[in-house]
Amino acid sequence: MSYSGPRRSAPAILTGMLLLARGRPEGFQHFGNSTQAFLASLAPLIAFPFVGGLLLVLKGSAIAGLVSFLETMCVLLAQPVISEVLATWWGKGDLWLRYATALNWCQWLMPVLASALIVIVGFMLSLGMPPNWAVPLLLAGLGGYALWLQWFLARYGLLLSGSRAASLVVLVNLGTAALLLGPHLFTALG
């Protein structure tokens, strides 16, 4: 495990996340560029599914708990694996650790955004918006922002052209979806 540069404090990471969330590339400066920084960004993302799987095991659903945890790990690890392959292929492998570290930390922006969108949609419902618009509006807002954020992080974290960043987002999401849905489709067909 290599380590380069100073340790990043929680306030620095939060500052970086907030800058990146607003489309400010200087946010990358607040993230480490080391294996240790990457693993530190991955640890909380693994902890929550681990606890969820463990709770299922403790409730007597050992297989469901294990499957849930392993499925989440496949989805979670697909993004860094696929993006590293593409970054290396495009000659940007030296930038990948900082990009992947920032990407992991920025995953925590999505629940915050979802909460804000729920409040906004609730307000819009109180003003008379048709209730059947609520879920599509929430999903469109959250999904659109998530795709933009992934593109922005790839564009400025890996210093890719806009089209390459878009290709990375598409390939990472298709690869992740295949890993998540593939086994279910094969099971349903068999």
- d(C-alpha 68, C-alpha 93), whole Å: 31
CB 64, CB 54: distance < 8 Å: no
Q: What is the pLDDT along the chain (190 residues), one digit of tens a residue?
A: 333 445 578 899 999 999 999 999 999 999 999 999 999 999 999 999 899 888 988 998 888 888 888 888 998 999 999 999 999 999 999 999 999 999 999 999 999 998 998 898 888 888 888 888 888 888 899 999 999 999 999 999 999 999 999 999 999 999 999 988 887 788 788 7
Largest CA distance in the chain: 56
User: Residue ranges of the alpha helices (H) in the chain?
Assistant: 10-21, 35-58, 62-89, 96-106, 109-126, 134-157, 162-189
pTM of the model: 0.87
What does the buried/exposed string (b/e) look like for 50-71 if buried means 16 or more CB atoms within 10 Å of the residue's CB?
eeebeebbeeeeeeebeebbeb
Torsion of Cα atoms, 172 then 2 then 46 then 158, to 10° = -30
